Amino acid sequence: MQYEKERAAYIHAFIRTKQAMLREQLEGVAGDEMELKETFWDHVTVNFSNSHEIQETISSIKQQAELLHERERSGALIKKQMRTLRRLADSPYFGRIDLKIEGEDQAEPIYIGLASLMDENDSDFLIYDWRAPISSVYYDSEIGPVTYTAPAGTVKGVLENKRQYVFRRGELKAMFDTSLAIGDERLKESLSEGASRYMKTIVSTIQKEQNQAIRDEKSRYLVIQGVAGSGKTSVAMQRAAYLLFRHRSHIEANQLVLFSPNELFSSYVSTVLPELGEENMKQLTFRGYLYKRLGRVYEVEDGFAQLEYILGAAKGELYRTRMRSIAVKSGRAFKEKLDAFIEKLKEGGLFFKDIRFRKKTLIPKEDIETYFYCLDHGIPLQNRLRLTGEWLLKEIAKQEGKERSEAWVEKARELLDNETLLRTHWEVEKATANEEGFGTQERQEQLIAKQLVREAFEPLKKRIKALAFIDSEKLYEQFLFDDCHRDTEGFAAVALWSSSEISKKRMPYEDATPFLYLQDRIKGLQVDRSIKHVFIDEAQDYTHFQLVYMQMLYPAAHFTIVGDVSQTLYFHGPNQTGLIGGDEADVKYMAFYKSYRSTEAIIRFAREMLPNPEEIIPFERPGDVPVLVKGTSRQALIKPVKEWVEQMGERGYRTVAVIVKTAKEANDVHAQLSEWLDIQLVAKDHHEYKEGAVVLPVYLAKGIEFDAVGVFDASASHYASSQERYHLYTACTRAMDHLTVFAAGEWSPWLKPIPSHLYEEKQALS
């Protein structure tokens, strides 16, 4: 311990010295940069008298610009080094392995931290980056013979010791020797720090199976099924950091994209990559993508609105139709039918729109259909549409010439403002400069008319180039009423409902992806080949159709897909995480069964709600058993919940969540609690929340953890269906240290079978 403390003190002093040196260097570089900017033109000879002098001037400017750019680049590099040192100052390393390489006389101590640190001569590593090949031994291996893969090939050796460290503000506080991967003591130390509004890195406590997922480079599709609190989201983020480190010569952060379940989650994970010294990757939500593509024309329903409807609607005929709509349109069979329908369009059945201008039909849809299907059927559908578009543009050009003599053109010319007239005058003068008869009023009016008509036709031409002459709505409606659905029970009502909604410019969530897919298969998919890796979190809440569609959007990308079937929120049927395209050889499936987030007592309680509770292994972290509080009504629960929030604050918990089922309930509960408490309401468009007490619906709590959770109204009338079982389980597993479940009346049927020794029951006092 004495040796380790002395070494830690040396490293701390070395970091401080290096920080001081870098600050001095940065001041010098910043001074040079400022001087270069101030005197830039003093060192440039500007002369445009002849071509030689012009070239000399350009060369002089380029030389000064390159010098300035070099200073800026040097400054950016020093700042990056300083950020790394700031991260290392508080906790320079968290692990050590004593590794004796085959052929060497003695073991070398290898210290592992968030980033690499070289000695004063830049010749030896004082600390190795956790992503370095040799660091994998720390995560994967036990004491004894080991091998690891380095850039030069496979390295063999003997692992003689493994040690873990706990630092506080740069000072070594504790260390543990272990023969296994990561000892429980170090993990407990990390988990005891409590929750925050941002996700913490797990590099100091990565488990063996997590490390294998992080470092996997062979799989085109890595699919991880992980129980609540198993670290699957953290693994996805550390995997992104590893890929950026491992392939830094040809992968940049903007070539990685993360699909988050909501904006709140995006904020929650936003600090992970910067803490690891990497820039943040792109973050999207699927609902945001749908809105971007369809939002200009349609009122696009998102998944949360769909969920709110299902959980709050009366269970009548419309509800049953909607549930059938969601179930059918989410699966593989629906996509296969749509593919078959698209294939038939090569021979006939494609719908077109009239080409209209100023309420006149210039080219009727029948003529477009005739032209399209007269083209060689051996030409691919998209190419035939492009040829049809080119034909339409030629026809429009003819109509454009005829339109110049129409009365509206003369009126438009008379209404031109002075600025437009002046601009048009100069454009006309330029166009007629070399023409005989220039300057005549008649000629200028002709050219003004030509320009006015050209500008008026421009939006129409853009729509034709975008293939907007295809009637996508009617085409999708035709597919919905196609005979291929005749064996699907109740689908006629589904087709009527969907086509009615879309005709009113309302796009149901379950229709948005098939509708886009149909458009893209016909017009040409809008792919992004620059993206090298896609991360999809909470994958169980995506339909099969959506997962396959995202795969098509990024054809050059590898995919990391993580989720948990037991936390499925939506009503689209069974888990879809495995139903991605591609050969089985391209797909690797992994399962994480151990839960680390919550105390052992919380997990033993929560897992009893599931069909196979034994599949979830709790981490042995002590804590109080969950508390069940029963009241006579929902109104009678408000006061006990208010008192509970206050108690949690008094116990020192920084993040306290009251989790309800829907956004409507969140509004109601928040309105009542906020009369007494400083408590925040979290809505679906919120990007972050403050530490303290919050009220939020369960679907916004996905992927986030809180020190203490109070589940509001887990009664039989509220969490009764088989799907709501998973909502209740998800809400309970957001808690790290404390869980209280409130109910108005009888308990949910998913709580009743839980053995009584796993919780403490209380009666709410009115």
- Closest Cα to residue 720, out of 614, 602, 609, 632? 609
Question: Which of these, 472, 476, 458, 456, lies nearest to 385 by C-alpha position?
Answer: 472
Q: Which H or E run contains 394?
A: helix 381-403
Please report which helix (H) or strand (E) contains residue 290, including its range: helix 286-294
Q: What is the rounded CA–CA span in Å between residue 181 and residue 185?
A: 12
- Integer Cα distance of 124 and 333 in angstroms: 59
Length of the chain: 766
How many Å apart are CA 310 and CA 324, to the nearest integer? 12
What φ, ψ does residue 52 adopt, rounded to 5°? -65, -45
Confirm or deny that 227 is annotated as ligand binding.
Answer: yes
- Residue 79 CA to residue 25 CA, distance in Å, equals 10
Running DSSP on this structure, what letter comes out for residue 126? E
Residue 231 assigned ligand-binding role: yes
Terminal CA-CA length for the chain: 57
Annotated binding residue 285: no
Please give the structure tokens belonging to residue 103.
């052929």
The phi, psi pair for 12, rounded to 5°, reads: -60, -45
Stated as kind and residue range, the H or E segment containing 164 is strand 153-168
Quick check: 742 and 714 in contact, CB under 8 A?
A: yes
Tokens of 634: 């929902």
Annotation-wise, does 218 bind a ligand? no
Annotated ligand binding at 60? The verdict is: no
Rounded to whole angstroms, the Cα distance separating 712 from 630 reads: 11
Q: Is residue 413 a contact partner of residue 477, using CB atoms and an 8 Å limit?
A: no
C-alpha 605/C-alpha 349 separation (Å) is 57
Contacts of 466 (CB under 8 A, 6+ apart): 523
Question: What DSSP character marks residue 471?
Answer: -
Q: Report the number of secondary-structure helices (H) and strands (E) in the chain.
A: 25, 26
- DSSP secondary structure code for residue 715 in this structure: B
Q: Is 701 helix (H, G, I), strand (E, B) or coil?
A: coil
What one-letter code names the amino acid at 440? T
User: Per the structure block, which two tokens stand in for 37?
Assistant: 């900017």
The enclosing H or E element of 495 equals helix 491-503
CB-facing half-sphere around the CA of 371: CA atoms within 13 A: 17
Give yes or no for a contact between 76 and 92, defined as CB atoms under 8 angstroms apart: no
230 is in an annotated binding site: yes
The C-alpha angle 140, 248, 526, rounded to 5 degrees, equals: 110
How far apart are the C-alpha atoms of 353 and 535, rounded to whole Å? Answer: 39
Residue 608 and residue 249: Cα distance in Å, rounded? 48
CB 166 within 8 A of CB 174: yes
Task: Identify which of 683, 661, 663 has the alpha carbon closest to the alpha carbon of residue 729.
Answer: 661
State the DSSP string of 321-346.
Answer: HHHHHHHHHHSHHHHHHHHHHHHHTT
CB atoms within 10 A of CB 440: 11
Is residue 228 a known part of a binding site? yes
Among residues 338, 332, 294, the alpha carbon closest in space to that of 521 is found at: 338
Determine if residue 378 is labeled as part of a ligand binding site.
no
Residue 125 identity: F
8 Å CB contact between 688 and 718: no
- Which is nearest to 732 in space by CA: 627, 589, 620? 627
Residue with structure tokens 């991605």?
580
- Which residue ranges make up the annotated binding site? 226-233
- Which residue ranges make up the annotated binding site for ATP? 226-233
